[in-house]
Amino acid sequence: METLVHRWDAELALGTPGPLDTELAGDGVAEVFDTLAPRQIVRGRAAAPTYALRLYATDTGVSWTYGPGAPVATLAAPAERLLLTLWGRLPANGCAWEGDREAGMRMLGTALVP
């Protein structure tokens, strides 16, 4: 997944990045929550979440919830946009929000990926 994101970075540097495969982008979102974020917490680079944020991929219908309890906010966008937002490549304000946007933005501002 890291290669996928860095390919996008390289293409952006050359002008216009090509689209990411939708299924791969969705897998990348899952990887952030089930592998990368927990690793960042163990390494002391991020704090464990105290509330939940839900991300919903509008193009695949898949959603992910990160953190304990009921989600305080939902971020909705195509899987590619969600992945690039989690990796800090695109701003979250380009996505649709429901619920406590401020809390969601705080969570996205933590070091979920290396």
User: pLDDT for 13-49, tens place per residue?
Assistant: 999 999 999 999 999 999 999 999 999 999 999 999 9
Residue 7: inside a domain: no
Compute φ and ψ for 10, nearest 5 degrees. Answer: -65, -45
Residue 2: inside a domain: no
**Distance, CA of 39 to CA of 36 (rounded, Å):** 5
Residue 82's CB is within 10 A of a number of other CB atoms, namely: 29
Domain containing 31: what range?
A: 22-108
Residue 5: inside a domain: no
Region 107-111 average pLDDT: 89
pLDDT digits (tens, 9 = 90+) for 68-90: 999 999 999 999 999 999 999 99
